[in-house]
Chains A and B, each alone.
Chain A
Amino acid sequence: MKILVTAKRVEDPESKIKVKADGSGIVQEGLKYKINPFDEIAVEEGLRLAAKHGGEVVVVSIGPKEVQEQLRHALAMGATKAVWVNHGGALDPMSAAGLLKAVLEREKPDLAILGKQSIDDDQNQTGQYLAEWLGWSQATFASKVESLESDAEKAKTPAIHIAADGKSAQVVREVDNGLTTLSVKLPAIVTSDLRLNLPRYASLPGIMKAKNKPIEELTPAALGVDASPQIQVVKLSAPPPRKAGVKVGDVQELFTKLKNEAKVI
């Protein structure tokens, strides 16, 4: 089977993010970038499914030439080939979904796994648009059954289970009060939640093999897609700085402060 996964380039969550003084964006100088963590989980799930059922994992990223680093990362983890949509402009969920739709129509995967959202602007919409526009079934927030004891038990009940005939998949998804299990017809769009799996580390031999794996370059024009965004970011503002804490001498003082100053007890 053929599985398509996404690898968006986002700011490293461990970098210190500063908003520009005029609120027009963030300061990019000195920032580190990495693959969106939800996408890394999608890549991992794709690799596990491909290992189990045979087949290949194709990874897609949209952005300027730097996104090839994230594609190489997914290739180093074990993806078979990459598609790079070379696009320098701003993106919103609709323009990303529009480009991905065109890529999916070319690649014709049996299943596409996307991160449920990207940690830069937390929109949580791309997978949903994509499924709607393709007319495919969708299962968002795919997640692992956490209560199972051992890794072996967990492996027996994967969150995404492909039916023997390859025509449908069962997906466990995380909802507010627990888990639901959906059965979706393939091809389908699945989005990954945080607890779906723990992505493998890229190994050094994997990094070297990735150098020789193909990255196909496409452009919005070649895909016939108008990628101009419909949403414009008007202003960014940083959260107010946190006030410094105070040290208390003993438990009694802590109680007094919680009671009289914080008024929480």
Chain B
Amino acid sequence: MWTLAAEFQFSWLWVAEVLVGVALYAMLAASLNLVTGFGGMFSLGHHGFFAVGAYAAGWMASLAASVEPGSAAGWAVFAASAVFAVAASAAAGLLVGLPCLRLRGDYLAIATLAFGEIVRIVIQNTPALGGSLELNVPRLVMRPRGLAEVESFRELFLVVGVAALAVVLVVIRNIVRSAHGRAVVSVREDEIASELLGVPTTRYKVRAFVLGAAFAGLAGWYYAHYTGSIAPANFDMLVGIKILLIVVLGGLGSLTGTVLAAAVLVGLERLLQSGVFGEDLKRWMQVEYALILILVMLLRPHGLLGRFELGDLFRRRARGGRAA
């Protein structure tokens, strides 16, 4: 992202960038909420699907480097790269989900954790994706040069981001309120009872997991085109922790809470980054996420809006056993 001189710090330019970050993280957290909040599946590698989507979109855009930004062809590649990013991360979701979702227990948490790291290592060792350096993502819809153009670029992406977020939220909400969504939630509540009441639990878990991965891929597409350059370091564990933190704070199974928590967390982060609270806090920021997450887990709160406790997730997992 662009480094701005101090006088721009609380300008509309700055606010627009913060809001873009809120939309991005709300998208990521909402997609994880489908998996963890509604589906009860503990995934620690959501940033891996985010990375797959970002690199899929970035790679496709890099093939169209000669396309004039803003031309019809530019927009077409922009849209096509969204489809490609979503398809790629959905495929990755299937690859990870299919083998471990058949099993009960914590295989998924471990497998997703490994997946997040593997994605990063694979990218680092793939020259076509920039290796451990940056992958330049050519501009397709607008090339921001001067300050005024940067502003309209951000406004454009704010609109794109809000639209993409709205799509993600409406799709998840409508699915959750359908017969299929009830089946997914019933798996979270009691997998054995669910299966014995005619719900093919593995099929529903895989579906929810793949859908969550697909939406993380959409967020990756958005991020890649916004920043114009992506690197493996943008998709490390810390990003995964941040997404999980937003879900937990907002409440497992609460989409409204997710959006609010994303706004609070990203807003706070940018305020700290701006240095208004001093340089010390700025440096400690990375540690804070892990600390907050640990605290939240220890204290088992209800989140900002959720009724569902994180602790229930573990207790329910521990229960399993036989169908007595």
Q: Is B a genuine binding partner of A?
A: no
Residues of A participating in the B interface, judged by any CB pair closer than 8 Å: none
